[in-house]
Structures are given as structure tokens and as C-alpha cells.
Amino acid sequence: MLEIKNLHANINGKEILKGLDLVVRPGEIHAIMGPNGAGKSTLASVLTGNQAFEVTHGDITFYGKNLLELSPEDRSREGIFLSFQYPVEIPGVSMVNFLRAALNEHRKYKNLEPLSATDFLRVMREKKTLVEMDNKLANRAVNEGFSGGEKKRNEIFQMAMLEPRLAILDETDSGLDIDALRIVANGVNKLKSPDNASIVITHYQRLLDYIIPDFVHVLYDGRIVKSGGKELALELEERGYDWIKKEVEETV
């Protein structure tokens, strides 16, 4: 579904992604690990069309469509979803209005009628239960005054509402206690199907105990320098990243 070829991207003139390749097929779960500052969030931003990042080389296709030509909103409507590392607070915009607007734009894109108020509320209720989201949160403004954990849970709730084909979870596990981690992972697993895929960006192997990846990639200095199965995550957990850095330097 997703093919990234030789991707280079800048921010403020500084090159962050330096020739990144990745292929994701339906049904797969990919974990991307790597030290701080490697470019993991940058990859997520480029995939979702954040204008702050400039793509200088390479291609990204999503189901054969040139992703780089699509607006952020169309990427979302095509089925790409990012759970933000740092979800944004939007004072004054209620969760209900926000989600209804989002859901109906998705439906319009698919030539479907907007959901009636009752149907919308029913869907919201179902998905809330799925991620064990507090009723109170759903009645507030988007992320306003939410704790770190509540914000992350809200990301998964939104994901459940929008049912993406490709979900990118950027450090959704950081700042979560074990309980919250279990809920988030549970939500992700329940949404899993043979037709959709996930990219799980994480620092720790902890989350991967709950969400079992098919592939683990190491992103270092703007490139994927090593790929393997889920055992690679355990190895990284044990040995850290220094040996990878060394390996990379040796091959250079």
C-alpha cells in the first residue's frame, strides 16, 4: 500500500531524511525504532503532509497514488492517520464538532451522506468504549487540559473513529503507564484487519510486547539502516543503539 523510495527531506534548510526506503503491505505492522533526533517524527510529518518539511528527493506512493501531491486533508481521507507524538490543544473547538467535521469530510470524499446526529453519537459511543475513554473528555474541547496520557488515548479514539488504512503511531506509548499502554495497544489490536497496516514508532520495546510487529526497522541519521523481525527489537533493548551506530560508521 505504501512505498517510500529514496526520500530526502529538509526542515529550515537542514537535511533530516537522507534517502529513506520503506515498503508497507496491507495487514503488516512495522515498528520503527531509533535514537532521539534520528528523523522518526520527521518521517511521520512528511507522510501526513506537514508543510514545514520540504521533500527534496524521492517518491511516496499510497495505493499507487503520488502521496506528495495530496493535501494533508486528502491524505487523511485516503486513509492515512497519524497519532501525534505531541497532540495539539484546540481551545474552543469541542471534540464533538471536531470529530463530526472530520468524519463527515471522510464520508463526503467517499460520496456518502453525512451521518445523522444520532448515528454519529452512536458511533462515538461505541468507539469511546473501545478505548475506554472517559465521557468527560469527549465533552470537552480538543485536548484542552488533557493529561499526557489522556491526549494519547484521545489519539487512539480518533483513530477508531476514522478507521484508517494506514495508522502511524508516533511514540504513542511514551508517557503512558502500563494500564494506559494496555488500553492503547488493545485499541490498536482491535482495529487491526488484513486490509490495514500500522507503522509504530517507538523508543522502547515495551509497546511491542502488546503490539507484535512483523518487521522492525532502525532509523538512524535519516535512513533505515537495519531491518529485521521482532527479535531485533529485543536486541536493541538489550544492546542499545551504539553497536548500530558503529556498524553504520564501519560501512561508510
Partner 1 sequence: MKNNEISTLNAAPTVRQETLEQQYIDLYKEQRESIKKHSSAVMNTSRDESFARFEALGFPTSALENYKYTDLRETLSVDYGLNINRISVPINPYEVFKCDVPGIHSYLYFVVNDAFYPVNDPVHNKLPEGVIIGSVKDVAASHPELLRDYFGKLSTAKNDGLVAFNGAFAQDGFFMYVPKNVVMDRPVQLVNIMRSDVDTMANSHNLIVIEEGSKAQLLVCDHTVDEVRFLSNRVTEVFVGENATYEHYKLENVHTKTTNLSTLLIDQRKSSNVLANVITLHNGITRNTIEIDLDGEGCDTLLCGMVIADKKQEVDNFTSIIHNKPNCNSRELFKYVLDDMSKGGFTGKLLVAKDAQKTAAFQTNRNILLSKTAKMRTKPQLEIWADDVKCSHGATIGSLDESAKFYMQSRGISEKEARLLLMFAFTNDVIENIRIPALQDRMKLLVEKRLRGELSKCEGCVICQ
Ligand X SMILES: Nc1ncnc2c1ncn2[C@@H]1O[C@H](COP(=O)(O)OP(=O)(O)O)[C@@H](O)[C@H]1O
Least distance in Å: CB of 205 to ligand X?
16
φ and ψ of 166, to 5 deg? -130, 120
Contacts of 148 by beta carbon, 8 Å cutoff, 6+ apart = 175, 176
Least distance in Å: CB of 63 to ligand X?
25
Q: Does 118 bind ligand X (CB under 6 A)?
A: no
Q: Does 172 bind Mg ion (CB under 5 A)?
A: no
The identity of residue 63, as a single letter, is Y
Grid cell digits, residue 222? 535519516
Q: Does 11 bind ligand X (CB under 6 A)?
A: yes
3-state secondary structure 40-88: HHHHHHHHHCCCCEEEEEEEEEECCEEHHHCCHHHHHHHCEEEECCCCC
Least distance in Å: CB of 1 to ligand X?
23
Residue with cell 515498528: 31
Q: Does 42 bind Mg ion (CB under 5 A)?
A: no
Q: Does 42 bind ligand X (CB under 6 A)?
A: yes
Q: Does 106 bind partner 1 (CB under 8 A)?
A: yes
Q: Does 162 bind partner 1 (CB under 8 A)?
A: yes
With contacts defined by CB under 8 A, name the span among 9-17, 96-104, 118-126, 208-216 that binds partner 1. 96-104
Grid cell digits, residue 189? 489490536
What distances in angstroms separate CA 7 from CA 15, 43, 55, 79, 223, one per listed residue? 11, 9, 7, 21, 9
Number of residues binding to ligand X, judged by CB under 6 A: 12
Rounded to whole angstroms, the Cα distance separating 134 from 125 reads 10
H/E element holding 11?
strand 2-11
Least distance in Å: CB of 197 to partner 1?
18
Instruction: Confirm if 95 and 138 have CB atoms less than 8 A apart.
Output: yes
Q: Does 37 bind ligand X (CB under 6 A)?
A: yes
Least distance in Å: CB of 200 to partner 1?
18
111 binds, among Mg ion, ligand X, partner 1, none (CB under 5 to 8 A by kind): none
Q: Does 198 bind Mg ion (CB under 5 A)?
A: no
Handedness of CA 157, 159, 163, 168 (dihedral sign): negative
With contacts defined by CB under 8 A, name the span among 103-111, 115-123, 181-189, 224-232 that binds partner 1. 103-111
Q: Does 109 bind partner 1 (CB under 8 A)?
A: yes
Site for Mg ion in 68-87 (CB under 5 A): 85
Of 36, 51, 111, 116, the one binding ligand X (CB under 6 A) is 36
Spatial CA neighbour of 39 closest among 204, 174, 222: 222
Interface residue list for Mg ion (CB under 5 A)? 40-41, 85
For partner 1, the binding residues (CB under 8 A) are 48-51, 71-73, 75-77, 81-82, 84, 87-93, 97-99, 101-103, 105-106, 109, 141-142, 158, 162
